[in-house]
A and B are shown apart, each in its own frame.
Chain A
Amino acid sequence: MKLDARLTEKVVFFLLLLATLVIVVPVFLIAGLIVKNGFAALSWEFLTQSPRLGMRAGGIFPAIVGTMYLVFGTAVFALPAGIFAAVYLCEYAKESRLTRIIDVAIVNLAGVPSVVYGLFGLGLFVVFLKFGTSILSGSLTLAIMSLPVIVTASREALNSVPQSFREVSLALGATRWQTISRVVLPNALPGIITGAILAISRAAGETAPILFTVAAFYLPRLPQTLFDQCMALPYHLYVISTQVPNLKPHIQYGTTLVLILMILIMNLTAVFIRAHFRKKKQW
């Protein structure tokens, strides 16, 4: 059978289009469904009140606050550690077997399932270091989970700063650290921040790592210290979907919508930072 070239062209075009639709359509269906059903649940009360009547009424305020604490805590631990590790690897470490092993380790860490991080956090922070199930343990666990991505993004950002900038600074009598802090980091920062926000926003939506390390089923009051448990949106969603019978579905949809919106805002911030600095960038 001999296929006419124009027919082949049409078939290929159709297949490619189909593949794209297979990806795009479910995303829009899911998003549309959540927005349509969740929007009705959104109200001032829903956003600012605690759950009542065994989660069947009231709002999700403690879970929103808890997720914000965790995002903040993750950033506080993961950002400095990730940036300094990347600076060490890019600017100080000479290419050696050790750095190659570290490279492989980082790539593989990025692929470790999140439940493994959760169990690791349970073992190290909750039990061994005796931080208990607490915001501290949860933040540290999420931070460790985001670190590989932050380190990788930061290294890319550092490597994209032209070598000539470093040499100019050194040639003017700067030490290596002065060069890094005054020239390299400021120019790499937009890329680093963008990568970090994306990594942390992914962590914010995870359930498994916080399951054993911080998340509470229900708390009558907001956490007071780093050593308190807190509620969190992903875990709350899991709880109301699996543990609470006779729940009105719009509460689930509303919770999902709030979680997705929070993550969307973080991702949009990252996109905005990237676009803003790309426009301003002179090199």
Chain B
Amino acid sequence: MVDETSKDKLVVKDLNVRYGTKEVLRQISFAVRSNEILGIIGPANSGKTSLLRTLNRLNDNDAAFSMSGTVTLDGQDIYKKMAPHTLRRKMGIIFALPTPLPLSIYENIAYGPKLHGTRNKTALNEIIERTLRASFLWDEVKDRLDMPAMKLSGGQQQRLCIARTLAVEPEIILYDEPCSGLDPISTAKVEEAMTLLTKQFTQILVTNNTKQAARVSDRTAFFLTGELVEIDETQRIFTVPCDQRTEDYVSGRFG
């Protein structure tokens, strides 16, 4: 458990997000602490994906997108004080569907480091082995790194995506329902990887699976139709939540 004095890494204040005239997030304020795993739960349409895409500025080119409020990373406003590529290098994202590039396993992971100037072969090899080990994929692919990544199974692809994100050494990793398409064993491997990664990274895990949030996150936030209902230590959210709606949702009595 992270103690109360630990520093706030990412601070969201009065965030409102719209697509066109549709309001998808209303007056969201919360902070993410260094090296914690923050779980975000909530039913479909509660704005979880929209929140992650706003944090990572992936909506920048969407003409319908508009927002107000501030998001700061280490005290710096990510929309006013940072170039999007600088921000995204510090904040990686894993999408719900595994998204390998149409390259080999090796080249998928090397893509990020090469972008940022690592050309040295031994350095790249080292990065690839280290990140594949961290995502529990190394043993399954170490003999066939030249294979097209799209030939891997879904669960392996998702772990490859995690390795690829680790390879650019971000500070924060966002996960958008990373296990929604995975079997229990792959899911367990992803969760184990996340738990070990807390030493170096701050992580935000959006999940439709409340049990997963209960298993891996330090704190959990509950979103409902664009509003942040409650954020607290995971244990409290799942045992003694303040809000009735949270209790209904985590106990499966919702809707």
- Give chain A's interface residues, CB within 8 Å of chain B: 94-95, 164-165, 167-175, 178, 182-183, 187, 281-283
CB-CB under 8 A from B88, the residues of chain A are: 170-173
Is the pair B58, A171 in contact by a Cβ cutoff of 8 Å? Answer: yes
Task: Let me know if B200 is at the binding interface, CB within 8 A.
Answer: no
Is the pair A173, B102 in contact by a Cβ cutoff of 8 Å? Answer: no
Is the pair A171, B115 in contact by a Cβ cutoff of 8 Å? Answer: no
**Whole-angstrom distance from the CB of B147 to the nearest CB of chain A?**
11
CB-CB under 8 A from A95, the residues of chain B are: 63
Is the pair A283, B150 in contact by a Cβ cutoff of 8 Å? Answer: yes
CA distance A282 to B107 in the complex (A): 15
Is the pair B111, A169 in contact by a Cβ cutoff of 8 Å? Answer: yes
CB-CB under 8 A from B93, the residues of chain A are: 171
Is the pair A283, B85 in contact by a Cβ cutoff of 8 Å? Answer: no
**Whole-angstrom distance from the CB of A231 to the nearest CB of chain B?**
45
Is the pair B101, A165 in contact by a Cβ cutoff of 8 Å? Answer: yes
Interface size class of B (residues with CB under 8 A): 20 to 34
CA distance A175 to B57 in the complex (A): 12
CB-CB under 8 A from A187, the residues of chain B are: 102
Is the pair B102, A283 in contact by a Cβ cutoff of 8 Å? Answer: yes
Is the pair B63, A172 in contact by a Cβ cutoff of 8 Å? Answer: no
Is the pair A173, B116 in contact by a Cβ cutoff of 8 Å? Answer: yes
**Whole-angstrom distance from the CB of B61 to the nearest CB of chain A?**
8
Is the pair A173, B168 in contact by a Cβ cutoff of 8 Å? Answer: yes
Given A94-B63, A167-B95, residue A172 in contact with residue B102 (CB < 8 A): no
- Give chain B's interface residues, CB within 8 Å of chain A: 56, 58, 61, 63, 84-86, 88-89, 92-93, 95, 97, 99, 101-102, 111-112, 115-116, 148, 150-151, 161, 164-165, 168
Is the pair B95, A170 in contact by a Cβ cutoff of 8 Å? Answer: no
CB-CB under 8 A from A94, the residues of chain B are: 61, 63
Is the pair A172, B95 in contact by a Cβ cutoff of 8 Å? Answer: no
Chain B residue with the shortest CB-CB distance to A165: B101
Candidates A171, A172, A183, A282; contact of B150 at CB < 8 Å: A282
Residue from the set A164, A168, A175 with the largest chain B CB neighbour count within 10 Å: A168
Is the pair A172, B99 in contact by a Cβ cutoff of 8 Å? Answer: no
Is the pair B92, A169 in contact by a Cβ cutoff of 8 Å? Answer: no
**Whole-angstrom distance from the CB of B160 to the nearest CB of chain A?**
11
Candidates B84, B97, B111, B151; contact of A172 at CB < 8 Å: B111
CA distance A61 to B116 in the complex (A): 52
Is the pair B58, A172 in contact by a Cβ cutoff of 8 Å? Answer: no
**Whole-angstrom distance from the CB of A66 to the nearest CB of chain B?**
41
CB-CB under 8 A from B95, the residues of chain A are: 164, 167-168
Is the pair A282, B148 in contact by a Cβ cutoff of 8 Å? Answer: yes
Is the pair B102, A171 in contact by a Cβ cutoff of 8 Å? Answer: no
Q: What are 30 A-B interface contacts by the 8 Å CB criterion?
A: A94-B61, A164-B95, A164-B97, A165-B101, A169-B111, A170-B84, A170-B85, A170-B88, A171-B58, A171-B88, A171-B92, A171-B165, A172-B89, A172-B111, A172-B112, A172-B115, A172-B165, A172-B168, A173-B85, A173-B86, A173-B89, A173-B115, A173-B168, A174-B85, A178-B85, A178-B115, A187-B102, A281-B102, A282-B102, A282-B150
